[in-house]
Amino acid sequence: MSELKHAEKRIQELRDTLNYHSKLYYVQDAPEISDYEYDKLFYELVALEDKYPALRTDDSPTQRVGGAALDKFEKVTHSVRMGSLSDVFSYKEIYDFVRKTEEALGHTTIFSVEPKIDGLSVSLLYENGKFTVGSTRGDGNTGENVTENLRTVKTIPLSLPDALPLLEVRGEIYMPRKNFEALNQKREENGEVLFANPRNAAAGSLRQLDSKITASRGLDIMVFNIQRVDGEEFSSHMEGLDYLEREGFHVIPDRIRAKTADEIIAHIEKLGSLRDDLPYDIDGMVIKCDSLAERIEIGENTSTPKWAIAYKFPPERKPTKLLDIVIQVGRTGVLTPKAILSPVRLAGTSVSAATLHNIDFIRERDIRLGDTVYVQKAGDIIPEVVSVEMKDRAEDAVPYEMPTACPSCGEPVMKDDEAATRCTNPNCPAQLERSITHFASRDAMDIDGMGPAVVKSLLDAKLISDVADLYRLEAEKLKDLERMGEKSANNLISAIEASKKAGLDRLIYALGIRNIGEKAAKALATAFGTIDALAKATREDLVAIPDFGEITADCVLDYFAHPQTIELVEKLKACGVMTTYEVEKADKIFEGMTFVLTGTLPNLSRDEASAIIERHGGKASSSVSSKTTYVVAGEKAGSKLTKAQNLGVAIIDEETLLKMAGEV
């Protein structure tokens, strides 16, 4: 046998062996060999493929490490729409669903019940048994091609034993809890922003243009549906999932068939009680008519099937001990009480702190030090204290009072009309640190590399005393700061220089005027055109701006009434920071139209979509009414979409918006 033939044979043996052990390890959780033995086989295969590159194939186990970085993701049009399900939140709605399904069929039926993994949906296409295209859900009709990133997920088979002409499956990409905790720990050590939860981390990891980054994140998948298939026929959903499991897919676990609503609810309660012990997050259960023929008979609504629903678990609420209340001073001087808690696992993360908002919030709930408090996550993201267990309260517990002096500078504090306690010292160090961090943030002046740690280092080194000083920094003085170095220093100076052209709207937002967010800042820039004109604006001028009330107008007047504000503006102008507003020229095709954005758009952020609408003369509103012209709906659109449907408002997707604007 020739050397090439011998190598070809050995390569195939190694691939078969590695695929076998990968399935045992990652899919079945039943390894037969050690990591060391697996690695020896893997690197033998790497060496052979390096020596004989013509024998390397796309489905080789060596191709999971990630390839060259992409410039962008290409669009993928789904052959089968990747739709969403109607959400229900009560057992009564489950009984109603079962009853309506049986009424539509005229007889009882079997339902499949399975956990709803809290991740993001993807499609995997196999042609002749080979994985060829992987894509995100997007808006259901069009997603993004993330094939190279999905190749790095070890539980996605690159080739199948049963080489069907065509098989397309749908699954949920997620990040296992242990991987999420390790990733956040690493990011914290590096001074990077932490991911809010495993779903957020999985989404960010899957959409990396560099697949090597995705490969390092430890993503996983649960496959839960066959979208289309040639060469096999299935009569039921569960039969199809059993087939996928035999083919080596990581298929949704803990799935059952149920005949009644009571059986469905019993399984929901069983899985709900095990949520904390699962290695991944689930946010509900999916109930489907199991028979594929009966699904066709039952039919679909406009945007969701009638034969399936998603039961959403109520927010997790758990008791824990309130160990302390600490005060944080924000960039506008507001003192915010923060609860320090005995750590408790909640909605996928360990929670050891929660905001208490203000003194009125504390008094309304009668929260006291040492209490047992119930905590939940608002929107499964922000921890909050919702109530107190009074029977556990210590006899000597006393009502909490806010401090009378600022914990940062020691100056007096005062309670304003908005229930906020505020430091009266405009030069308070805590305010300065947070205001500079805000000034440099992405949605403000967008100074890349100027995070909280760098701002603190600059202040500690007395290199800056206000935001204007950022524009006087020199790389030579920066490189000796902790974690900086020459390259980072030069990059930071370049980012600071580039921020001079951010524009008046971003500058106004960056200045941190109370009650002035990005939208209000843009309205001010559009109305006045220059920072000087804004500084001279009267109350009447300000309230004449659409959606500007007296409180917002007074915040602007108060800010520009301080001599130090005018001094700061002059310093920024002297440093070359743009203080004028240049309106981008565009047609007025959307003039007189009002758009409302809801859900997650496949490619555009809310800000980007709003900018397109406003650039073409339209108005982006936050609420749906009979005067709304269009609702632009994305993934997981909620009550705004429902209200639009009830009012008969036209509903469009991102692609339609872009076509209307002439931007595709």
Question: In this structure, how many other beta carbons lie within 10 angstroms of the beta carbon of residue 476?
Answer: 10
C-alpha 185/C-alpha 350 separation (Å) is: 12
Secondary structure of residue 640 in the 3-state scheme: helix
- The amino acid occupying position 632 is V
Single-letter amino acid, residue 336: T
Q: Rounded to an integer, what distance in angstroms lies between the CA atom of residue 282 and that of residue 209?
A: 27
Tokens standing for 85?
């399900």
Residue 195 DSSP one-character state: P
Question: Is 116 among the residues known to form the active site?
Answer: yes
Torsion sign (Cα): 234, 236, 242, 248 = positive
Q: Where are the beta strands (DSSP E) in 153-219?
A: 166-174
Classify burial at 479, counting beta carbons within 10 Å of its beta carbon; exposed 0-12, middle 13-18, buried 19 or more: middle
Closest CA to 378 of 457, 436, 317, 452: 317
Q: How many CB atoms lie within 10 A of CB 521?
A: 22
Contacts of residue 628, defined as CB under 8 A and 6 or more positions apart, other chains included, come to: 594, 595, 596, 621, 644, 647, 649
Give the sheet arrangement for strand 594-598, strand by strand: 619-621, 594-598, 630-633, 650-652
3-state helix, strand, coil in the chain (%, to 5): 40, 20, 40
DSSP one-letter code for 580:
B
Catalytic, out of 9, 75, 100, 116: 116
Q: In 3D, which of 226, 230, 249 has the Cα closest to residue 239?
A: 226
Pick the closest to residue 526 from 583, 483, 587 (CA basis): 583
What single DSSP character describes residue 495?
A: H
Q: Which of 402, 357, 350 is nearest to 384 (CA)?
A: 357
- For residue 236, the cross-strand partners are 291
**213-222: b (≥16 Cβ within 10 Å) or e:** ebbbbbbbbb
Closest CA to 167 of 243, 238, 114, 112: 243
Q: For residues 465 and 467, what is the distance between their CA atoms, to the nearest angstrom?
A: 7
As a whole number of angstroms, the distance between CA 176 and CA 284 comes to: 17
Find residue 373's DSSP bridge partners: 320, 388
Q: In angstroms, rounded to a whole number, what is the distance separating the alpha carbons of residues 447 and 502?
A: 10
377's tokens: 């996550």
| Whole-number CA gyration radius for the chain | 29
Active-site annotation, residues:
116
